[in-house]
Structure 1
């Protein structure tokens, strides 16, 4: 039973396109009552990875939710990927996850509950690896299977990783290779299994997050459904700078370029590219490279405005120019 055949999209590629999402969110954020608990440090304004509220005792609470349709056919692996992806939002803010609750939508008359049990087991395994409590959740009878988590964590409010703290002169570091979207799309179409892609999607961003905080990095985001170009555009725009990408320095998963050449490009990837195109100087980058840089990742790595050991530098932030993004 191939889970990916029960959903139109797959993973973070099934997100609402970024431009449309920004239109939906415009004007939201009602004035707060006078007796609101805590101070909102990160909200809707910059489209960051999670919400952050400072509470008594000098602690910041980090809150997020993330779920999606099957990105792989193996239910246990799908559960692991979805859980790692949800936890990543906390790590992308420099936080530590404390507790998660499951979010499960299930076509109860189509797919056996035993498969749902395997999905939840995969999520529980990743939560345990992260040292994050997993308790309860919410279920809905739905036409498409969907799984993820709502996660709450804590962070030091003075050492948050935010997408609006970039400064000209800082290097850009990418902690995981690109190509997850096109490989997952090929898997959905053919059933081919890409072990390296699964390993990347189930790898927690905990170590990279801790290394970034320890190195004094203050600006970061994770690379998921809007692709490297989409997330970098949001970071540079929020920080009031431009970004230059050294296209030769960007790492890719084995088989990613072949997947593009063979036509396995998700619709979400093309929508990402269309969204950033008016704000990007593509230089001499060919269409294949542009698509890979915009590829809709699921549970990808972190993009840091700074350096940490073992991760490649792929560009730098520069003063705001005629474009927001420059490919070189």
Structure 2
């Protein structure tokens, strides 16, 4: 039996983010930031830097030991300034190693625009930066459809390198995890700027609105239990965003049960991967296509995951579609509708039968993807 119970610690809420902004707590020109290690401190300063670097290297191992929520991997939130307009950063020890995750909402969805023709080129620029620069390892475009009611939303998810050079800069900046949060925040904001800038290169994402911790946990909960609603508010710390029960026994879908308001609710999910991609008029892979594979009126999500192949800066894309329903019969209809929508768009999708619980966890929404 693949059913199990899981409990997680609640997450503290803070006001939603609005727009990217410089990291709070920065010092005046010529002055070190608060908490920074003063080079003039000599031996004591060097000892602090080494100690901080050592603790940051051990952090992924400590995070990975925590009970993982049905295949997502260990998760740990980095500290952030209350009320600061900056993305929340999640340390994630998952299937692809350790990453720092940042999420931003695409305020005006580009997934249905004409500029998607060369969006891959813009995304590829961000992925070709050397890992030591503290930039992205993978980029996920996430498209959420809440069903017949509610507003469709799109997101850009960054998986930042947890690289030794990044840790070194963080240790010199501040003690503990504050320096890591500041360095990674700047790296994420630089990528958001690059993705959303309006210039002659064409396809872009934007404007981008970084999600704070409350909004990011709310996104996680709404993807796993679409009927749950927002998790922010005074009671957010007492709310468990993860499902309490996962049933993976059915071969054609998995069932997740969790609190949705005053009572529990169960949602069924089935995840497919894009086996054959449609092409644009110019012959490029159509990164907007998976969003069109969700049948009208069906709750679900589509994601496109991009990462380097390791061959001369080449970038590869993988697409996934998850349909969600209230019961197995409704889920079967949604599967049929997704197949038909993909074929009408010149694509082929294949459902991950007997692996839906893992496929759901690893394709939504932490920029992992299936091996």
TM-score by length of structure 2 reads 0.27
- Higher Cα radius of gyration: 2
